[in-house]
């Protein structure tokens, strides 16, 4: 798993935004990498928000671990999760079961998700850097 891919080409992109100093993050990483192996058609990235602050711009991380899931340019999920890999696995399975049109509608269905499109599109930020 690359720390931060420049332009992930996979349909789905899953990023964990964490910090090396965070014990919960360090504990979470092994399971996150195991999920990457279970979902080989999805791009996964471990993003240390301090080491890669210049790449992630103004994305606001309030707590750890913060997960960002995109399908192409649509941000489907952006938020803190409990450090339980089964929860992330269920999220990924749910989003993978959607059609691209369903994902796009889902991404725009609430004001909060519409904000994610503007403020948390990590793929766009990575391309810009």
| Tens of pLDDT, residues 36-69 | 999 999 999 999 988 877 777 678 888 899 999 9
45 contacts 4 by C-beta, under 8 angstroms:
yes
Own/partner contacts of 99-107, CB < 8 Å, gap of 24 or more, are 100/71, 100/72, 103/71, 103/74, 103/76, 104/71, 104/74, 106/74, 106/76, 107/71, 107/74, 107/75, 107/76
Band of the pLDDT at 4, cuts 50, 70, 90?
low
Instruction: Determine contact, residues 48/122, Cβ cutoff 8 Å.
Output: no
pTM (two decimals):
0.90
Percent of the chain with pLDDT over 70: 92
Residue 79 has pLDDT above 70, yes or no: yes
Mean pLDDT of the chain: 89
| pLDDT of res. 54 | 73
């Amino acid at each position: 798993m690359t720390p931060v891919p420049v332009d992930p080409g996979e349909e789905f992109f899953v990023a964990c935004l964490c910090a090396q100093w965070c014990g919960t993050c360090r504990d979470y990483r092994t399971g996150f990498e195991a999920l990457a192996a279970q979902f080989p058609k999805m791009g996964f990235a471990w993003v240390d928000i301090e080491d890669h602050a210049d790449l992630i711009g103004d994305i606001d991380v309030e707590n750890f671990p913060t997960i960002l899931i995109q399908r192409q340019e649509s941000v489907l999920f952006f938020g803190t999760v409990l450090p339980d890999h089964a929860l992330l696995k269920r999220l990924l399975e749910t989003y993978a079961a959607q059609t691209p049109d369903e994902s796009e509608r889902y991404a725009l269905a609430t004001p909060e998700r519409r904000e994610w499109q503007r403020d948390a599109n990590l793929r766009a930020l990575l391309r810009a850097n």
